[in-house]
Structure 1
Amino acid sequence: MTLKPNPFSHIDLYVTSFEKTLPFYEKLLPQLGFTNRYDSPKWKVFATQGELPSAAYFAITEDKAHQPNKNLVGFWAENQEEVNQIAALVKEAGGTVTAGPGLFPISPTYYSVYFEDPCGNGYEFLHRTN
């Protein structure tokens, strides 16, 4: 079996309320490269460039009983300034920064921001050189 350079396909994400969370994702995900939309009544899909099914995507659906947990989705940043920009955007869009932005003791260059969407789903946006 040959591994692909980036084996990521998609994330099926559950939120408690489209009304509460879609404005957040409509601001955040395009900044992370998920610029194409493919929506249906049940799923709101934010995809990277390219055609489905080969494009990476976030598929968001509503489940009023959803309970966030300790799972975390991480994204790469080009540099520390981009981490700072995403941290500001998260606050502006209604998310919660839970730690950072700043250096973390994972490595000497590990610069990150940890945050949650309005429903409590966890994310990290990070830059590191080692």
Structure 2
Amino acid sequence: METMQLHRGRLVDHIHLVVRDLDASRRFYQAVLDALEVPIGGDGDGFFWADELFVSSAESPAAQGTLTGRVHLAFQARDEAMVEAFHRAALAAGGRDNGAPGLRPYHPGYYGAFVLDPDGNNIEAVHHGPAKRSAASVEVTFEG
């Protein structure tokens, strides 16, 4: 595995998801990451990784035989179109809709979409853009 530079000032160094079905997760995350223009960094027996995301099977030595609990993971998107591409790709790759692309009331310009991955993790793509429209009338619902 290639060693990356240490970047001080980041809150999170990496995230490790331990999944039931590594092949299903690989298909899902490959599609999602392609839509976000993030390449898979590498893989090995029982795992794959991209940037700071590490995904493995429970049989992987790093997992110690335990699946992770439900996680909410948000990826940054360049623009609203990338959020929409993420949502389409995730659904086509077996994800379940958990919030269609749209403005959210979290702060002005927050444009996001939510899907559940094969393990039920809440995966989001978000673009923090300028406040062009009012999000006050946007109704946000989450399943699960």
TM-score normalised by the chain length of structure 1: 0.75
Alignment of 1:8-23 (within 5 A): 8-23=12-27
Question: 2-side partners of 1:5 and 1:67: how far apart?
Answer: 26
- The gaps in structure 1 that reach 5 residues or longer are 47-55
Q: 1:79 to 1:33 in 2, by over 3 A?
A: closer
Q: Which protein is bigger by CA-based radius of gyration?
A: 2
Q: Does structure 2 retain, via aligned residues, the 8 Å contact 1:68–1:120?
A: no
- 2:134 corresponds in structure 1 to none
Question: 1-side partners of 2:83 and 2:105: how far apart?
Answer: 16
Question: 1-side partners of 2:75 and 2:25: how far apart?
Answer: 19
- 2:39 corresponds in structure 1 to 35
The secondary structure found in structure 2 opposite 1:82 is: helix
Q: 1:6 to 1:89 in 2, by over 3 A?
A: same
Q: Does structure 2 retain, via aligned residues, the 8 Å contact 1:16–1:65?
A: no
Cα displacement (A) at 1:45: 2.0
1:77 corresponds to 2:77: yes
Read off the aligned partner of 1:98 and give its amino acid letter.
Answer: N
Percent sequence identity over aligned pairs:
24
Q: 1:85 to 1:119 in 2, by over 3 A?
A: same
- The gaps in structure 2 that reach 5 residues or longer are 1-6, 59-64, 131-144
Cα displacement (A) at 1:94: 0.9
Structure 1 stretches of 4+ moved >6 Å = none
Q: 1:81 to 1:122 in 2, by over 3 A?
A: same
C-alpha RMSD over aligned residues: 2.3
Deviations 1:67-114 (A, max 9, x none): 642x31111212212111111111111111201211111123211101
Question: 1-side partners of 2:25 and 2:40: how far apart?
Answer: 18
**Greater RCO (Cα-Cα under 8 Å, separation 6 or more):** 1
Count of residue pairs the alignment pairs up: 118
Read off the aligned partner of 1:60 and give its amino acid letter.
Answer: V
